[in-house]
Structure 1
Amino acid sequence: MPLTAIALNCSLKKSLGEASSTDAMIAVLKEHLAEQDVELAETIRIADYNVPPGVTSNEGEGEGDDWPAIREKILSHDILVFGGPIWMGQIGSVAKRVLERMDAFTSETDGQGRMPSFGKVAIAAIVGNEDGAHWSSAQLFQSLNDTGWTIPAGAACYW
């Protein structure tokens, strides 16, 4: 069975029909994944959705939280491409919001104590300078590791 990937674009701006630098980085990874017979099925621009703050899988009582549907899409793939810009020396606030929402995984374990992300891989597509990218990937990978994702060696790409 072929592997599939999904990308989260955590750009700080809504799409409004315009590509972002993060889209360009995700496109590079899409090409490289295709060379390994991995289909990048979809890119979700988080800023286009209502993802309120919180640490549960559904914060939408009366607000129309879009996270539950996004979460379901993420978990239906083998690989997560987590993309975002560096802003003020760190990963941007939209990416941090996604990581906060993934915190719910720690309490959503199965009968064997495994989080929903068990057996799934995450890689990073970071837009920013080298020093900021190293710091941002460290933050990102620690958070993803804490929420059950497998982080392979060399999993961060940046410019």
Structure 2
Amino acid sequence: MKAVFLNCSLKSSEEESNTDVFMKDVQAHYEKLGVESEIIRLADYYIAFGVEEDMEDGDEWPEILELVKDADILIIGTPLWLGEKSSIATQAIERLYGSSSVTNDKGQAIFYNKVGGAVITGNEDGAKHAASSLLYGLSHIGFVIPPNVDAYWVGEAGPGPSYGETGGNDFSKSAIQRLAYNTYHLANMLKENPIPAEGNTL
């Protein structure tokens, strides 16, 4: 089983990312479960704006999309900015949406029988708002969303210690475990019993 994390931090890999640290804590659970996983820092790539599957020369989204297509689980992670998911997270959802009319061999959207989840970090309110936006977007284009897959950590409002400095708390650690196990369990169920094509082909 494979999982792909899209880290939508505004920072490139040259800088520390609290979202990355959070994702690695999810990865630790996946490793115990035998799930192969990879974190992709989207800020390291040139991703064109738009909602088409193929955009312009130099656009690196298609290679990221291939990794998503090959995965059973997709986790989108974002920091909070002004109570919202990052602009890169919005762009990722838009580009995924650009492939929502592409079908699998049964005529379903290519994201059918894949499982989605969201992780959020920040020092301000907005985690549940960002999670609802991400999870609705994934569900709308065909991903299946298990219960309790909006794992997040928010510190005190304003400047202060971030997730990477605190290591989270009991609440965030429990949320991380639920996200990992619930995405894993549902992905296993869908491998054994995929959603039938009846009534949901494009």
**TM > 0.5 between the two?**
yes
Matched AA of 1:25: F
1:134 equivalent in structure 2: 128
Greater mean alpha carbon deviation, residues 88-97 or residues 126-135: 126-135
1:98 corresponds to 2:92 = yes
Which of 13, 21, 26 pairs up with 2:11?
A: 13
3-state SS in 2 of match to 1:134: helix
CA distance in 2, matches of 1:151, 1:78: 12
Using the TM superposition, give the Cα deviation of residue 128 of structure 1 relative to its aligned residue in structure 2, in angstroms.
2.3
1:44 equivalent in structure 2: 40
CA distance 1:79–1:110, shift in 2 (3 Å): closer
Which deviations, in whole Å up to 9, do the C-alpha atoms of 1:21-56 show, x marking residues without a partner? Answer: 01101011001222322221x211101101011001
1:4 corresponds to 2:8 = no
Unaligned runs of at least 5 residues, structure 1: none
Using the TM superposition, give the Cα deviation of residue 111 of structure 1 relative to its aligned residue in structure 2, in angstroms.
6.0
Which deviations, in whole Å up to 9, do the C-alpha atoms of 1:2-38 show, x marking residues without a partner? Answer: x11111110012112x330011010110012223222
Q: Is the 8 A contact 2:9 2:79 kept in 1?
A: yes
Q: Is the 8 A contact 2:100 2:111 kept in 1?
A: no
2:189 equivalent in structure 1: none
2:23 equivalent in structure 1: 26
Q: TM-score, normalised by structure 2?
A: 0.71
CA distance in 2, matches of 1:111, 1:125: 31
What are the residue-to-residue correspondences of 1:68-79 with 2, within 5 Å?
68-79=62-73
CA distance in 2, matches of 1:35, 1:110: 30
1:53 equivalent in structure 2: 49
Matched AA of 1:99: I
**After TM superposition, where is structure 1 displaced by more than 3 Å over at least 4 residues in a row?**
110-113
Using the TM superposition, give the Cα deviation of residue 155 of structure 1 relative to its aligned residue in structure 2, in angstroms.
0.6
Unaligned runs of at least 5 residues, structure 2: 154-202
Matched AA of 2:80: I
CA distance in 1, matches of 2:34, 2:124: 29
Q: TM-score, normalised by structure 1?
A: 0.90
CA distance in 2, matches of 1:113, 1:130: 42
CA distance in 1, matches of 2:123, 2:146: 22
Which of 110, 134, 151 pairs up with 1:157?
A: 151
Percent identity reads 39
CA distance in 2, matches of 1:5, 1:125: 14
Structure exhibiting the larger radius of gyration computed from Cα positions: 2
Using the TM superposition, give the Cα deviation of residue 112 of structure 1 relative to its aligned residue in structure 2, in angstroms.
4.2
User: Relative to total residues, which structure has the larger strand share, 1 or 2?
Assistant: 1
2:116 equivalent in structure 1: 122
CA distance in 2, matches of 1:129, 1:154: 21
